[in-house]
Amino acid sequence: MWVSRLLRSETEKQFVYISDEIDVTKTIITKLNDSGKEIESARSELSDIVEGLAAVSEENAAATEECLASVENRRLNCYNWKVQQKNR
């Protein structure tokens, strides 16, 4: 009789231990899921920032091209004016 109680007691202890470890595992899984969500949110924000920077970069490149074209046009106009002045 005492042996069966002892075995039952040890078995109960093992089940309690396993149950506690399952709870610890659930907590860890929840924390990992939360961390994954935070990482995904940060990745999304970073992606938006990079897209914005790429758009600004493209706008700057277009503005630079326009500026260079304007400078080149003015340079040609000045050159042509000088040539006309010499030919007079």
Q: Which amino acid is at 9?
A: S
**Average pLDDT per run of 10 along the chain, which is 88 residues long?**
68 92 98 98 97 97 96 91 82
Q: Show the tokens assigned to 21.
A: 């470890």
Strand blocks (E) in 1-88: none
Whether the full predicted model's pTM is greater than 0.85, yes or no, is no
pLDDT value of residue 10: 83
pLDDT value of residue 87: 81
3-state secondary structure of 1: coil
Q: How many residues does the chain have?
A: 88
pLDDT value of residue 56: 97
pLDDT value of residue 51: 97
CA distance 45 to 38: 11
Residue 31, CA distances (Å) to 6, 17, 35, 59 in order: 38, 21, 6, 42
pLDDT value of residue 3: 55
CA distance 69 to 79: 15
3-state secondary structure of 69: helix
